[in-house]
Amino acid sequence: MTDAPDTKTSTPASPAGTAGTAPHSASPLDLDAYLARTGWSGERRATVETLRSLHRAHLEAIPFENLQPLLDTAPSLALPDLQDKLVRSRRGGYCFEQNTLFTAVLEAFGFRVTRFAARVVLGAGPGDVRPRTHMTLAVQVPAAAPGDPVRTYLADVGYGSVGGLYEAIPLVADVEVADGVRSHRLIRRPHHGPSDLWTLQARQGGVWTDQYTFTEEPFEHPDFEVFNWHVGTNPRSPFRYGLIAQRTFPTRHLALHNRTVVETREDGSAEERRLGDDEDLVAVLARDFGIELPPGTRFPTDLTGA
């Protein structure tokens, strides 16, 4: 997620609706349906190239969007519900949905996945401390041959920003990596906690820009159920009062915030256009973002910001 809820809020409602929700591994994954949705084909082996190509295919096929919390409530993170929404329907989701589904896919391929909870720092002011409201993944790639090292990569198909990863990158500090037309690096810094702090940076306009930070502490499915409930129901959460949609293509990126669409090309140039009424918004979501909503969908009247 590109935004984090304001921490100066009252305590959100108890996640009663998530109690007893099965973890993503409790139900079988329809891997064939997922691969058809993303258009991925190849040998189903846990290799670096498989990880990178799965990452690209997912990003290009399944859009980022927050329409469910905006129009209703927090989305379900149960695997059957994620498959119905992200795989079988022309819909997308935000980080908890996207990366929970992607975790199930990677595990089906034989990768070992650890979930981290990250703090989005993009756009944060000096001294701002945001909560951990983003899920990112550490993926272990098995050794190709006996004696070879097990390599760990950072993967993230749920970061709704042009600064997000296009491909998984090695979890190694201070190395610039070209992932598609994007460039990223990870910085490891001392931290007041027991472990160092990792920061994902993206090179944008020739400048390295911090995206989010995390430590190597494993978080489990129930942890993200709580985070998801807060982000999806707290009235102060950006995902409750602003429309956000993103679509990644090999040479361009589309971002929708409320009624403004920004197209960023691989050379860094950008073009902005303003949308009109709700019918125009629904049509653009379907045509440009691959997000189909029922005819007559109505959005909050205060979607007026850029």
The residues that are catalytic are 95, 134, 156
Could you give the residue ranges of the DSSP H alpha helices within the chain?
31-38, 48-61, 67-71, 79-82, 95-109, 221-233, 238-241, 278-289
Cα 202 to chain center, whole Å? 15
Torsion over CA: 8, 227, 131, 124 (sign): negative
Residue 109's nearest CA partner among 179, 180, 37, 29 is 29
DSSP state of 173: B
Residue found under tokens 């949308």: 275
Instruction: Give dist(CA 116, CA 266) in Å, integer.
Output: 29
- Tell me the helices (H) and strands (E) count for the chain, helix number first: 8, 13
